[in-house]
């Protein structure tokens, strides 16, 4: 009787499982497990197949597993200031070595290209212009950071530090170009490089306007630029130079290495290299102009100080005549000319006034006053 009851209950247990399979839903332990979510440091994660993004935003481990099973596909994982635990887990999933993980945790890198086994590391500096009403001796003009791009056979990982250089516009733009994105992870590297150079050009345009305002104030008659403002802008330009001037060499090395971008992307990287050369030229011009403005301001300060010294010397000469006359007639001698004269005092005052007026006109005519 027990076996008969078991046979009676068995179809009831199989029916829900059969319906779940027909509907494509997981059964058993998989049905109870909730889908994994990405850490907060993950800005976006997506799988791209033949240049087109697959729907959804899966966990980076699931996305990488799917990309490895699918032809002409890769996963793009974007991180912003991740912690050590998150990077360690990402490194284990994508096979990054300890040195790569340590580099991704640090900030303030110089632009470079490195090869770690089967993974290529591309380091870029980000730059952003900080809006300000008026340039002061403490104004922050340029905000910099860095972005590290790890390139593998089926993945690309971008790790960004700092507020500048957000990569959301990069993802939106490259997704509208499936022909370029179909070239794989190196297409993302090209898009990131292009975005950084565009930011450099934007910052250079803002710096040019700041330099024009400083130049007007340096040579204005009614208002002078504080030399500390020029020094502050020069410091900001130096920081911008560190972000830009070190990039052309790694970018050239990237195109020359064997495991670099595919040939179809070489012309796109060459376009980025050309625009970067224009930024480098602009920065050199700005640095020379700042040096010229600094020298002009120092020369103007020297001229102003010389004018002040001439004015002081002229007034001292005028005062010296009064002191000489008063000092002579202040001596206590019995026999001095004019002591018994009725108009001696008014005459002495008149002589002092005429001497002062004469000297004043002479100094005024010579430009000392």
- Say if residues 165 and 126 touch (Cβ distance below 8 Å): yes
**In the chain, % of residues over pLDDT 90:** 37
| pTM exceeds 0.85 | no
Cα–chain center distance at 158: 18
Please give the pLDDT value at position 45. Answer: 94
| d(C-alpha 107, C-alpha 102), whole Å | 10
Burial 18-32 (b: 16+ CB within 10 A, else e): eeeeeeeeeeeeeee
Across 41-45, 95-99, 258-262, least confident range: 258-262
CA 318 to chain centre: 57
Domain 305-366 classification at class level:
mainly alpha
Q: What is the pLDDT of residue 13?
A: 45
35-302 with 305-366: one CATH topology? no
Strands (E), the chain: 42-49, 52-53, 73-80, 112-116, 119-129, 142-151, 155-161
Q: With a cut of 50, say whether residue 21 has pLDDT above it.
A: no
User: How is domain 35-302 classified at the architecture level of CATH?
Assistant: 2-Layer Sandwich (3.30)
Strand order in the sheet with 119-129: 52-53, 42-49, 73-80, 155-161, 142-151, 119-129, 112-116
Task: Check whether 18 has a pLDDT greater than 50.
Answer: no
Name the least confident of 19-28, 48-57, 64-73, 338-347: 19-28
Where exactly are the structural domains of the chain?
A: 2-31, 35-302, 305-366
């Amino acid at each position: 009787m027990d076996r008969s009851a078991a046979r009676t209950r068995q179809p009831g247990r199989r029916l829900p499982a059969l319906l779940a399979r027909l509907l494509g839903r997981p059964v058993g332990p998989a049905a109870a497990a909730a889908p994994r979510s990405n850490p907060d440091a993950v800005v976006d994660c997506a799988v791209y197949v033949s240049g087109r993004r697959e729907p959804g935003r899966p966990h980076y481990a699931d996305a990488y597993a799917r990309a490895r099973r699918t032809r002409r596909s890769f996963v793009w994982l974007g991180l912003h200031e991740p912690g050590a635990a998150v990077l360690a887990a990402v490194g284990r999933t994508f096979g990054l070595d300890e040195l790569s993980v340590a580099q991704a945790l640090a900030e303030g890198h110089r632009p470079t290209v490195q090869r770690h086994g089967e993974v290529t590391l591309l380091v870029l500096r980000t730059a952003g212009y900080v809006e300000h009403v008026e340039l002061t001796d403490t104004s922050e003009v340029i905000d910099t950071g860095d972005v590290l791009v790890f390139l593998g056979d089926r993945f690309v990982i971008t790790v960004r530090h700092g507020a500048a250089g957000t990569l959301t516009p990069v993802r939106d733009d490259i997704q509208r170009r499936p022909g370029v994105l179909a070239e794989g992870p190196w297409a993302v590297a090209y898009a990131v490089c292009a975005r950084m150079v565009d930011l450099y050009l934007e910052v250079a345009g803002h710096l040019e306007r700041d330099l024009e305002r400083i130049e007007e104030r340096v040579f204005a008659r009614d208002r002078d630029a504080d030399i500390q403002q020029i020094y502050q802008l020069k410091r900001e330009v130096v920081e911008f130079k560190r972000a830009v001037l070190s990039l052309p060499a790694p970018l050239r090395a990237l195109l020359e290495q064997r495991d670099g971008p595919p040939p179809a992307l070489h012309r796109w990287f060459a376009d980025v290299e050309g625009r970067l050369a224009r930024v480098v030229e602009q920065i050199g011009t700005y640095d020379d102009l700042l040096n010229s403005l600094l020298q002009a301001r120092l020369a103007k300060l020297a001229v102003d100080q010389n004018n002040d010294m001439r004015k002081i010397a002229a007034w001292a000469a005028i005062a010296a005549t009064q002191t000489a006359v008063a000092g002579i007639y202040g001596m206590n001698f019995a026999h001095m000319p004019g002591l018994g004269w009725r108009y001696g005092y008014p005459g002495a005052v008149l002589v002092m006034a005429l001497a002062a007026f004469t000297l004043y006109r002479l100094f005024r005519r010579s430009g000392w006053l």
